[in-house]
Every structure is written in structure tokens, then in C-alpha cells.
Amino acid sequence: MWLFSVDPRALVPLAATLALAGLGLRAGAQTSPPPVDRLLPLEVNVNSAQGGSWTLLERNGVLYAPAEAFEEWRVNRRPTAKSVDYRGQTWYPLSSVQGFEARMNHADQSMSLVFSPSAFAATRLGNEAVERPALSATEPALFLNYDLNLSHTASRLAPTTSDLGALTELGLSTGLGVLTSSFVGRNLGSSSTGTPRSWRRLETVFTRDFPERNLSLRLGDSSTRAGLWGRSVYFGGVQFGRNFALTPGFVSQPIPIISGTSSAPSTVELYINDALRQTSNVPAGPFAIDNFLLLTGAGQARVVVRDVLGRETVLTQPFFSHTNLLDEGLSDWSVEAGAVRRELGVQSAAYGQRFGSGLLRYGLSRDLTAETRLEWGAETRNAGVGLSWGLPLQALGQAAVAWSQDDTTGRGQEWLLGMEHSSLRHGFSARLQGASRNYRQLGLETGTLPFRRQFSGTYAYTSEALGSLGLGMARIATYDRGTLTTYSANYSIRVGERNALTFSATRISGSSRGHSFGVSFTVPLDGHLTSSSNLTHKPGRTDGYTGVSKGLSTEVGMGWRALAGRRDGDAFSEGGLYYQGSRALLTADLSASSAQQSLRLGAQGGLVFMDRRFFVSRRVQDSFALVEVPGYANVGVGFQGSTLTRTDADGLALLPRLLPYQRNSIRLDPNELPINAELDSIEQVVVPAARSGVKVSFPVRSGRGALIRIVLDDGEPAPAGAEIVLQGDNKEFFVARRGEAFVTGLQTSNQLRLQWNGEACTFDVTLPPGQLDEVARVGPVTCSGVKR
């Protein structure tokens, strides 16, 4: 066995030395000895991994390999290393790779090469490029959402009142986009002049998405994007901007990169905050992991590298990421133009100052995101800049400054400083903001002054054994109403296996004063039941209640609640009953005390007109699908493991709650289909646009099944493997042994076609009387014109 050291050029082949000695010549007397070359066809192992079959060149004890070998082995060689030419090919020394060692095994003609792990090209375990699924065709649809509320209140000191209110939304979805308009109705059952009936328009907007470019266009009523220091303003007009939600799975914030090095092919286990998140295989060399689940805040990653020999290396690395940061080179922006919306919900169309605004955010690096915002109104102008950046100790820092020019108040300015940290056990935040008396923003009512100073700070600690502690403080200093300071604290600890005990305290000082203390105890019970008790003490008053509730599930079912206690010094009790159906949510709430009794009834749901049919459905908040199972009623239809609706008498069902721009697997319940019904698949995948409808058809083959024995002209059974097609049906069947074929979807009279070796014949099959689920036996039936 030969051993090649890190620099094998220092070795002189023994054979060449003995040859020189045999000629009676001294080595020093030969100035340029001829090269001694030898080609070595070998099986190569590289750092304990198979490197393939290669022919290496040995010249004067130095090993060389062709350029493609280095590429195959993923190793980087020194570009200054001297190459040699042999038989018209360029060869490079293996010693040009850092940490080179070689060991020859003559018994099996193999060579083991070892390189330094840092010499290998880095391996990146990253997320695959986000694949955008093709959108399903949008079926034009008209939908109406409703939320009705009827209340009846009887008071000891006031007249009995009844009220009917409604919140509705009318929408039209097509391939061009979605148009919606919402309305609110009050006192609809009133005939009193003191409380007149009223209908008010809330928002009307047309939305068109451009998912290929992550852009959205909105025409009508919308709200501006606030940014780091601004405020969101309702307006009527046009808005156009970036919308990353159009690409599900796209991550805009920087993902932490966890790196390490393996000396041989290894298994890498990634632990995030001591929880195993993934296991991957990596080749020898440096590696980087950035495909683990997105996390926000600070934490610690632990990487366990275990190579093929069982050697284990543990790497620990802190990480930090935040939603307020954009990945390097990524931009986020929005532009708006229109008029400020006033008295939303009070007036149907009250608009004020006209304006144009824009927001731009850009990731300068993985740890630094800059943004700028401009508002230019007929009376008020505002502009500012802000920064969000990663600080030491895994914290996020924020700073912003803005200037305003108002026709009434003149010039003003605002500034902001903030810092926050969030980890598995600890979290804190601090934010300080100030504005001059004359500072103005769009939407701020005339005569309303900004806050002079605002400060908020929080701290949270979580421990599995000690529970959770939260502290908070907020202080607001105004120009005209003094200063208000609030202190709060809460502590929660687990009692037993699942119970939770929580203490809370609040104190207010300054322009208003007060304090309160509270304690609550929550006990989860079997059957999705939860019991809770709460006690709150304020100066001069103690309130409390005990209740039991059962929550609603996403599928059809019942929920309820009941509680009793004291409030404002008076005993009270409440109860509620809720039914989640496949077509509506029905609610009933009753409360009673010595001073007042109230009953509230509610109904939420939707109506959809699609494919020239009306459907009653749950509230249409997301995308939806018209599912067609022709001729089969009362078949369960759902997705994500839940049955949300059932087909009607015509085999149609309206399925709500689909996720836009994502693959939705719509599934039928096979147990609710008759035995004679055949489907190519009980599941189909659709990708709807936002708040749009798609049509999904499940062709069902119905009829009887029969075992048919087929013979050819010679009286012998038809050959196994011959193809049979039922006329009018594209499903294929095949002949088995003894010329028998099992065919489904048969009616009383049928025509079948058999194909074999390029020849075909047609024959008729008539089924004997029987039930649909009864398998008939037919034959022998002669198929003429086909040779064996």
C-alpha cells in the first residue's frame, strides 16, 4: 500500500533511483531527467464517499487528475497550481487542493482521497423556488353575505325595545376581478320616528390581482398603508401596490442561515430552541441551511452533524428574524390617490380632502430595511423616512422622522424610536414617539392635536415550570388633556396537567386614576368543554362569574355556553346556543339580571348565484367551488379532512372556504356513494383566485357490473390482455384468464368492442334482470373477425 503525503512531490520513485544507481550515475549529475509517467485506472473514494471510476496520471511520484474530476468531486483547486499536458489532455495536481492526502489499495485497484472539508464547494439546503400553480378557470358568480341580528330588551327602568339590524355584502366575481359592496341596516323593524330605519353603504371596491407579479389593483373604497410611523386612512379612489400574499409560501423577510462543515457525507439534524425541526443528508464540505420553518424573533439553532463513521459534531448558532425586515434586494410598495373617507358607517358617501400618497420599503441588506412615505393633499403634506435594523443581542431597532406642512397650522415634525426582542423565554419592547403641536397627517380632524409624547414598554418571561409573566407600561402626554400613565401585570401558571390559573393587575394614574385586580381559572374538560371562573376587584366593587362552554367545530355541529355571577353589584346569568350548519350559522343568546333581560337571535350565511342556479351556503369570505356529482344526492363534500357540505337532489353542492391561489384538494366521501357508482377519482385539485368561484365536476359511471365470457370464431376463449371498450364510455377493460372480462357501467342492453393485435370486433351484451349491486354472469359471447 502506498501512502501519499500532503505534498507527494517530495517523493522520488524508488525504481528511478535504482536505475540511476545501476548506470553508475549520481542523481545530482542529471540536470533534467526524463519524466516517468504512468496512467492509473482506479475506483476513487473521496472523503469516504464514492467518487467514481477515474484514470489518474502519476508523474515522478506526483498524482494528477483531469479538470472534470475536480468538478465531479466538488473540490476547489488553487488556480496558480502548475498543470501538465499528457497525450493531448491537461492534468492538474491533486496537491493543488487544500489538505490533500491519498492512500492506494493495490488489492482492489482503488484509491482513497482525503481533502480538507473547507476545500469542497458549499452545499445549500434551501427552499425550492416557489412554484406558482396554474389558476383554475373562474366561473362567473354573484354572491350575497348576510349577518342578521334581532334583539329584544326589557328593562325595569326603561321601555321595552326591539331592534333588527343587518350587515350585508353583495359581490360579483369574474375572470377580470371581484366587485363587492357592503351595507349596514339599523332599526329595520322600527316604526318610531325617534329611531328611524336606515341603510348605509360601507365600502364599495373592485379588486384585480396580478399574481404573476405579486401586484393588486383596488378601485373604490380602501385604506392607505401606514408604514412605520404613519396612520392608516380610509379613502375612496385607486390603490396599486405589492401583494406578497398572491404567492403562497413566499417569504419576504430574511430567513436565518445556519451553517456548518462536514468532513465526510453526513446526516444533519437541526434543532430550533431544542425542538427537532428537520433531518437532512449533506456531502462533505461546508453547508448552509435556510429551508426550515419561518420563525420570527430570536432563538438558538443547534446542528448535530453525524458522519458515516458515526463521528458526531455539535454546532450552536443564535439567529434572528423579524417581519418588519425585508430580504436583501426585495422591495415592497403601494401608491394611492383619491379623497379621504369621512364618517364611515354614518354616511354612505362623505369624502373630504383629495390626496395622493405612496409608501416604499426596500431591503438594503438582510439586517437593514429602509422605507419612505409621502402624503400630498390639497391642505396637508407629509413626508418621512424610517429604518428597521437588526441590533446586537438579537433585537430589532426602529427609527423614523417625518415632517408636515398644513395650510392651517403650518410646519410640524414627528419622530420615533423603538426596540424589541422576542425569544423562547424572554421578550421586551420599548417605543418612544413624539410630535410637535403643529404636526398633521391625513385624516386627522381639524382641531385635533397630536400626542406630545407616547411611550410604551413591555416585558414577558415564559418558563415551563414557573409559568408566564407579563409586565407593561404606557404613558401618553397630550398638549391639552394632561398625562395618562397605565401600569399592568399578569402572571399565568399551569395547575395540574391542563388547568391554568391567571392573576392580573392594572393601575392608572395621571389625568384619570384607578386600579383593578383579577384572577381567573380555566379547566379544559372532555368533549371539547371548557370551564372558566373569573373574579375582578375594583374600588368599591367586586365582580365575578363562573361558566361552562362548548365551542363550535369547523364542521356541522352544536355549541353552547352558560355562565352566572355578579356584575355591577347585581346578580346576572347568560346563556347561548349556536348551530353551525352547512348553509348557515344560527345563534341565540339570553341574558338576565334584576334590572334587564335581553334576547338576541342571529343568522349568518350566504347566497350564491352560479351556473344559472341559486345556492344557500355559509358566509362567502374566501374562494368557493361549485361541485357537481351528477345524479347523486346527499354526498359529503369537503377539503382538508373536513366535510363542509352535501350535494342536493341534483348532485350539486356549493363548497366555501377554499384558499385563494393555493392548491385545494376537494374530496367526496366514498362511503356515501352507492356500490354501483364508479369514479376515476374521489379527489380533485383546484386553484381559485381570491373570492372567486370555480366549477368541479366528478363524472360518475353508474350501472351494473358483469363477468362476461368471450370466445372467438374458433370457439376458444379470447386472449388474455385483449382490450374491451364499452361504447359510449371511455373507460377501458381487459380480458383475463379463460376469456373472462369484468365490465362495469352496463345497462340492460350494451354494445362492446374488443381489440387485439390491430384487429377489432363488436358484440352485444344483454343483462339478465337483477339489482344494481348484483354482478351478472354472461356468455359465452362470440366476437367475430379477430384472429388469435
- For the chain, give every domain's residue range: 3-121, 137-168+542-700, 258-321, 704-782
Query: What residues have CB less than 8 Å from 90, skipping those under 6 apart?
Result: 66, 67, 83, 84
Query: What residues have CB less than 8 Å from 167, skipping those under 6 apart?
Result: 146, 147, 182, 183, 184, 185
Q: Which of 438, 434, 464 is nearest to 449 (CA)?
A: 438
In 3-state terms, what secondary structure has residue 535? strand
- Return the pLDDT at 61: 85
Q: Which of 240, 178, 245 is nearest to 211 (CA)?
A: 245
- Asked if residues 251 and 294 have their Cβ atoms less than 8 Å apart, the reply is yes
Q: What is the C-alpha separation between 653 and 668, in angstroms, rounded?
A: 11
Q: Which of 693, 703, 644 is nearest to 668 (CA)?
A: 644
Residue count of the chain: 788
pLDDT less than 70: residues of the chain: 1-34, 126-130, 191-194, 291-296, 675-676, 702, 772-773
Q: What is the DSSP letter of 82?
A: P
pTM of the model: 0.76
Q: What is the C-alpha separation between 677 and 674, in angstroms, rounded?
A: 6
Cα pseudo-dihedral 201, 206, 209, 210, rounded to 10: -150
The domain defined by 258-321 folds into Immunoglobulin-like (2.60.40)
Per the structure block, which three cell numbers stand in for 445?
A: 380632524
Fold equal for 3-121 and 137-168+542-700: no
Q: How many CA atoms lie within 13 A of 32 on its CB side?
A: 0
Report the CATH architecture of 137-168+542-700: Sandwich (2.60)
- Asked if residues 690 and 178 have their Cβ atoms less than 8 Å apart, the reply is yes
- Return the pLDDT at 8: 39
Per the structure block, which three cell numbers stand in for 680?
A: 376515476
Q: What is the C-alpha separation between 328 and 251, in angstroms, rounded?
A: 12
- Return the pLDDT at 211: 93
Strand order in the sheet with 297-307: 275-282, 266-272, 297-307, 312-321
Per the structure block, which three cell numbers stand in for 195?
A: 329611531
Q: Which of 557, 498, 486, 491 is nearest to 524 (CA)?
A: 498
Query: What residues have CB less than 8 Å from 8, skipping those under 6 apart?
Result: 61, 62, 63, 95, 102
Q: Which amino acid is at 357?
A: S
752-785 core/surface letters (b: 16 or more CB in 10 A; e: else): bebebeeeebebebebeeeeeeeebebbebebee
CATH number 3.10.20.410 given to 3-121: yes
In words, the CATH class of domain 704-782 is: mainly beta
- Return the pLDDT at 4: 40
Q: What is the C-alpha separation between 93 and 9, in angstroms, rounded?
A: 10
* N-terminal to C-terminal alpha carbon distance within the chain: 66
Q: What is the C-alpha separation between 136 and 121, in angstroms, rounded?
A: 42
- Asked if residues 210 and 659 have their Cβ atoms less than 8 Å apart, the reply is no
Condensed to tens digits (0 to 9), the pLDDT of residues 317-332 reads 887 888 899 999 999 9
